[in-house]
Chains A and B, each alone.
Chain A
């Protein structure tokens, strides 16, 4: 198999580096938490390896007995994406649970605060309903 032209290799290297820099900037600005950036950094490193190692994909495909190398890319990429989506669902469920707990806590605290602010209003409200608007 003929080796790839050098230009596309340079492009993919530059592209991957820009992607890495973008991820790094998101972390620095606090828009992406480190634990979620981990997978993207790993992805970028894998891309870097393949951008540098010219016929790595062909060799690995041959090793695994994959006839058509690009299908190996799709297989691994889709698998990785599905894993990440499941991970996001887990994170989402955890968030939802935390929101539920917080909401209940806020509601109860809100009630305690109003009870403290008008301690006699409630007592009177229990005896007669007239003092309430």
Chain B
């Protein structure tokens, strides 16, 4: 069971203060549970010293020469996982909001082949950082949109703490949404008839860096993701 090879992809954009802790956290979980696991930090063309910090860490790293945003950044990691034949790919954000203890909860359903995609949710057991009020309204809206389109309920649709099995890696290797990929990807997975599973995890408030979404961008985010979701739906409906 533990022969499955896991790649943890850590997308980073200006996370020089938090990335070291994140990687060490993952390493700790790896040695504690004896996992066959590699950590891949993907530096999305950071303008601070993230890359210098990452080089000193015990991990693999990709250095994107052009800033692609979280979608393109993650896809680079997934493409790497696909090519190197990893069985499972996990996303853990570089800002430290996903404590690595949750990793085991995410991996177990994949080891047992109970799901294709496992999403770590902060809302199933209302513990830890619950996000701000406005963001929770947005998340609720995306939940409703997902229910409408794929008839599946994902409580924390914007969660970036997710694990994919090989089948899913093959899909995201071909196409993964740009910019704000999380809610869109859920619809994509739903239409590919993948088994989605949500597990409760703890999340923390970010330790370093700034969110990819500020106040001004919230409205843009809402429209962009709604449009993206609808078009993914139209494109993949016939599968």
| Chain B 60-84 per-residue mask, 1 if CB under 8 angstroms from chain A, else 0 | 1111111010001001100110010
Q: Report whether B178 and A132 are in contact in the complex, using a CB–CB cutoff of 8 Å.
A: no
| Number of chain A interface residues as a range | 10 to 19
Cβ distance B18 to chain A, nearest Cβ, rounded Å: 19
Indicate if the CB atoms of B56 and A111 lie closer than 8 Å. Answer: no
Selected interface stretch from A14-22, A72-80, A84-92, A96-104: A96-104
- Judging by beta carbons under 8 Å apart, are A107 and B62 in contact? yes
> What secondary structure prevails in chain B residues at the interface with A?
mixed
Cβ contact of B83, chosen from A108, A129, A132, cutoff 8 A:
A108
Q: Does A106 contact B (CB under 8 A)?
A: yes
The CA of A58 and the CA of B61, in the complex, are separated in Å by 68
Determine how close the nearest CB of chain A comes to the CB of B232; give it in whole angstroms: 15
* B5-21 contacts to A (CB < 8 Å): none
Assuming A103-B66, A104-B64, is B55 touching A132 (CB within 8 A)? yes
* Interface check B145, CB cutoff 8 A: no
B63 contacts which of A100, A107, A126 (Cβ < 8 Å)? A107
- The residue on A at minimum CB distance from B66 is A103
Contacts A126-B58, A129-B58; is A110 near B63 (CB within 8 Å)? yes
- Give every chain A residue within 8 A of B178 (Cβ-Cβ): 100
User: B35-62 vs A: 1/0 string, CB under 8 Å?
Assistant: 0000000100000000000011010111
Q: For the complex, what is the distance from the CA of A20 to the CA of B62, rounded to whole Å?
A: 48
A111 touches B64 (CB 8 A): no
Quick one: which of A108, A126, A133 contacts B56, CB cutoff 8 A?
Answer: A133
Contacts A/B (CB < 8 Å), 26 sampled: A100-B68, A100-B72, A100-B75, A100-B178, A103-B64, A103-B66, A103-B72, A104-B64, A104-B68, A104-B79, A106-B64, A107-B42, A107-B63, A107-B76, A108-B76, A108-B79, A108-B80, A108-B83, A110-B63, A111-B60, A111-B61, A111-B62, A111-B80, A125-B58, A132-B55, A133-B56
Q: Show the binding face of A for B, using Cβ within 8 Å.
A: 99-100, 103-104, 106-108, 110-111, 125-126, 129, 132-133
Further pairs besides A104-B75, A111-B61: 9, Cβ < 8 Å:
A100-B72, A103-B66, A107-B76, A108-B62, A108-B79, A110-B62, A129-B58, A132-B56, A133-B56
